[in-house]
Amino acid sequence: MARATKRDYYEVLGVARNASLEQIKKAFRKLAMEFHPDRNSEDGAEARFKEIGEAYEVLSDAEKRAAYDRYGHAGLQGFDVGRGFEGFDFGGFGDIFDAFFGGTASRRAREAQRGADRRLDIEIDFEEAAFGTEKEIEIVRNERCPRCGGNRAEPGSQLARCASCEGTGEVRRVSRSFFGQFVNIATCGQCRGEGRIIKEPCKDCKGAGRQRETRTLLVKIPAGIDDGAQMRLSGEGDVGPKGAASGHLYLGIAVREHPYFQRDGEDLIYDLELNLPQAAIGCEVDIPTLDGKPHELRVPPGTQSGRVFVLRGKGVPRLRGGGRGDLLVRASVIVPTDLSGEQRELLLQLAESFGTPVSDDEKGLLGKIKDALGSSE
């Protein structure tokens, strides 16, 4: 950290040169609170916060302070002063803050205590998935007890301050690191971090602070959602302990099959079966659509199995907006399996006209069918 002009550390913290460690801590705490980037968005607040942190790092450490007192800034060259602050990004300031003050900004701790997530699976119709819908879902979850407001104590009852942590909920241990003195914070085991002992638990929740409730939620399912998708309903899970944020509700979406459409992302696939004459000569067929109104499709002569006709914009609406997919009509030519005698004869004639007479066996079979038909008439 080579800076042209560095302010005097005592001046930075606004303390006398003979200030006690307690006075230095107090001054630092006050200034750091004022210039902490989370609280102060003014220009230069961050730089000031770093400067304050650096000054504190030196003056709170007996060895560094002695070196500084004797030789000024030059005396600290071997100490790597300020490195710790330089290396942190903004998100890290909270941690430094915690380190010095013991959980003033214990955001991380609160996050860790967030209530449990819940998961629920629902099944919706193919069309509902395509065009979106609203669904009522029922969920059983832990909610804050209304009687004690999650406080766990009977309203109006006495609370005793925890003796082992003196009501702070935290026990502090001092350790040393390259920052100088560090205060490590651990949750008080006696009161489980609450700082108080409940003498009379809430009558409704028996001191749990939460209750099991069955809730009906109205959920908007967006158009274009697909089978297997998962929606996150923020804060609709279990309530967190001690006023922490609630967990999330994850809603798994299963989409029922459609009688004749398959889905491929935003596109729909429809299998169109054509018989031999339809495929060979061509035809007009009505193709069902998701919207309900059939689409008339011209199948050209000589259509082969596997040919795909694309009906633009007749697919599924795109989940993130912007038009719809396509309806893909996949032709397959079906070879007949149960011919009538007449149809068989026509096909035989067709075979002969192609110059590909069928086997004697086939002819013999035809004769038998003819006989059978003749005798039944």
Binding segment (CB under 5 A) for Zn ion, from list 46-54, 191-199, 262-270, 366-374: 191-199
* Residue closer to Zn ion (CB basis): 201 or 288: 201
Residue 190 in contact with Zn ion, rule: CB under 5 A: yes
Give the nearest distance from C-beta 67 to Zn ion in angstroms. Answer: 39
Determine the Cα angle at 255 with ends 253 and 256, to 5°.
145
Regarding 165 and contact with Zn ion (CB under 5 A), the answer is yes
Binding mask 109-148 for Zn ion (x = CB under 5 A): ------------------------------------x-xx
**The one among 59, 124, 162, 329 contacting Zn ion by CB under 5 A:** 162
The neighbour count for residue 284, using CB atoms within 10 Å, is 9
Whose Cβ is closer to Zn ion: residue 15's or residue 191's? Answer: 191
Name the strand (E) or helix (H) holding 131.
helix 126-131
195-214: contacts with Zn ion (CB under 5 A): 202, 204-205
Tell me if 104 contacts Zn ion by CB under 5 A. no
* Shortest distance (Å) from residue 140 CB to Zn ion: 18
Q: Give residue for tokens 């798994």.
A: 252
Stretch that binds Zn ion, among 164-172, 232-240, 269-277, 292-300 (CB under 5 A): 164-172
Residue with smaller CB distance to Zn ion, 140 or 373: 140
Nearer Cβ to Zn ion (67/191): 191
Q: Exactly one of 13, 96, 129, 191 binds Zn ion (CB under 5 A); which one?
A: 191
Q: How far is the CB of 114 from Zn ion (least distance, A)?
A: 20
State which residue, 206 or 368, has the beta carbon closest to Zn ion. 206
Task: Find out whether 118 and 237 touch, Cβ atoms under 8 Å.
Answer: yes
188 binds Zn ion (CB under 5 A): yes
Nearest by Cα to 139 from 254, 253, 249, 247: 249
Give me the least distance between CB of 25 and Zn ion, in Å please: 23
**Minimum distance of Zn ion from residue 202's CB (angstroms):** 3
**CA neighbor of 194 nearest in space, from 230, 226, 164:** 164
Contacts of residue 100, defined as CB under 8 A and 6 or more positions apart, other chains included, come to 28, 29, 32, 56, 183
Question: Is residue 272 within the footprint of Zn ion (CB under 5 A)?
Answer: no
CA atoms of 224 and 266, how far apart (whole Å): 7
- Give the gyration radius of the chain's Cα atoms: 39
Sign of CA dihedral 258, 263, 266, 270: negative
Nearer to Zn ion among residue 130 and residue 148 (C-beta): 148
Burial of 177-202, coded b for 16+ CB within 10 Å and e otherwise, reads eebbbeeebebbeebebbbbbbeebb
- Number of residues this chain uses to bind Zn ion (CB under 5 A): 12
Structure tokens at 339: 């011919």
- Is the dihedral angle over the CA atoms 31, 37, 38, 43 positive or is it negative? positive
Kindly state whether residue 154 participates in binding Zn ion, applying the rule CB under 5 A: no
Which positions touch Zn ion (CB under 5 A)? 145, 147-148, 162, 164-165, 188, 190-191, 202, 204-205
